[in-house]
Amino acid sequence: MIGVPVEVERNLKNAAENNIMSEPKKRPILVNGEPVDESLIQQELQRLTERYAQEMSPQEMEENQVKIVSDACENAVERLLLMQKAREVIAKIRPEEIEARFTALKSQHGGDEEFRKHFNLKPEDEDKIKANLEDGVRLEKYFDELCTEVIRPDEADLQAYYDEHREEFFIPESVHAVHIVQHPSTERPVEKVYAELLNIRERLSAGEDFDALAKEYSHCQDGGYDLGYFSRGQMVQVFEDIAFAMPVGEYSDIFQSEFGYHLLKVLDHKPEIYREFKEVRYDIESMLFDAGKNDAIGVMADALRTSAHIQNLEVMDV
């Protein structure tokens, strides 16, 4: 269920990339006679893709792509149904409110000229953008009205959620490490790489700056010698074993992984913990309150759908 306002920037990007403003879909989905803009479907598809990418493997994403597209179309239909209702309930939006949002949108992209260039906009597109902004504001106000009776969770609800979902607040053991890696080649055989890394280790032990030596000697393609914090299971096994066994502040022996030969230093080592209730209380409250609002919006969307006339929507069941 959808419970957030229309994201105008994504609509604009979709318009620029796919020329949506000038090339409507041949057989658009119709909701009570109004076509569902392709940009709205693309927005929902991007949102679902980002969400499912955190829950599915790439293979599962590929296998479920048709279903994801189907769900995006359904979400777009529900969005339009809610928008149609919002136009009835929220009749008037002050023009200065739309102008203020339009000005802010342009400012976010470097001003009027950069804004138009970034999205490849024509002068006549301005009215469409402002209409999208007005619909977004109207939908926000309508959602506010729908959710006036949604009750904030009390302290007992928050504590109960925390107690029942402890694993959500688990932070695994992690280390912060930096390394220098080199890749042997025909020009630089293993013996030469190993000797150079030993020399670098001696220089580091004598007090030379790690950052400077890493920038000069490490073969990291992206210059990313600082690996940040990582937990178990994120690195190849030999790298993980050494990183998690090392004392903080010391340099490892030279070791080999499938990526080359490494010299490693651990900057910090954090034990696994469960975040305390007081740390996450407000996050839980916000999440549960938002869930309640989404439920209220979902009930309305379902009610609107029962009497809606929807054409050209192909629904794929699981």
What the chain holds in terms of domains, given with CATH numbers, is 8-154+281-311 (1.10.4030.10), 173-271 (3.10.50.40)
For residue 300, what is the DSSP state? H
Question: 6-10, 109-113, 223-227, 276-280: which has the minimum mean pLDDT?
Answer: 6-10
What is the average pLDDT value for the chain, to the nearest integer? 89
Q: How far apart are CA 233 and CA 244, in angstroms?
A: 11
| Cβ atoms of 5 and 139 closer than 8 Å | yes
Cβ atoms of 102 and 130 within 8 Å: the answer is yes
Average pLDDT over residues 247-275: 96
Going by C-alpha positions, the residue among 259, 251, 182, 177 that lies closest to residue 216 is: 182
Q: Does residue 19 carry a pLDDT above 70?
A: no
Rounded distance between C-alpha atoms, residue 296 and residue 284, angstroms: 18
Q: What is the pLDDT of residues 77-91, one digit of tens each?
A: 999 999 999 999 998
DSSP per-residue string spanning 247-288: PTTPBPPPEEETTEEEEEEEEEEE--EE--HHHHHHHHHHHH
pLDDT tens for each residue of 174-202: 999 999 999 999 989 999 999 999 999 99
Of 241, 231, 233, the closest CA to residue 173 belongs to 231
pLDDT band at 18 (very low <50, low <70, confident <90, very high): very low
Both tokens of residue 151? 């009750």
Assess whether pLDDT exceeds 80 at residue 70. Answer: yes
Residue of higher predicted confidence among 14 and 136: 136
The string of DSSP letters for 39-71 reads HHHHHHHHHHHHHHHTTS-HHHHHHTHHHHHHH
Which run of H or of E encompasses 16? helix 8-18
Check pLDDT > 90 for residue 39.
no
- pTM equals 0.71
> Which percentage of the chain shows pLDDT scores above 70?
90
pLDDT per residue over 283-304, tens digit each?
Answer: 999 999 999 999 999 999 999 9
For 258, residues 6+ apart whose C-beta sits below 8 A from its C-beta are 236
* Residue pLDDT, tens place only, 108-131: 999 988 998 888 988 888 888 998
Mean pLDDT (whole number) for 126-146: 92
Residues counted in the chain: 318
Q: What is the pLDDT of residue 124?
A: 84
- Give the best-scoring range by mean pLDDT among 6-15, 211-220, 267-276: 267-276
pLDDT above 70: residue 21: no
Burial tier of 150 (Cβ tally within 10 Å: 0-12, 13-18, 19+): middle
How far apart are alpha carbons 191 and 193 in whole angstroms?
A: 6
Alpha-carbon torsion 167, 169, 170, 175, what sign?
positive
pLDDT top residue among 233 and 21: 233
pLDDT at site 314: 78
Confidence of residue 313 (pLDDT cuts 50, 70, 90): confident
Alpha-carbon Rg for the chain in angstroms: 27
Question: How far is residue 241's CA from residue 227's CA, in Å, rounded to a whole number?
Answer: 15
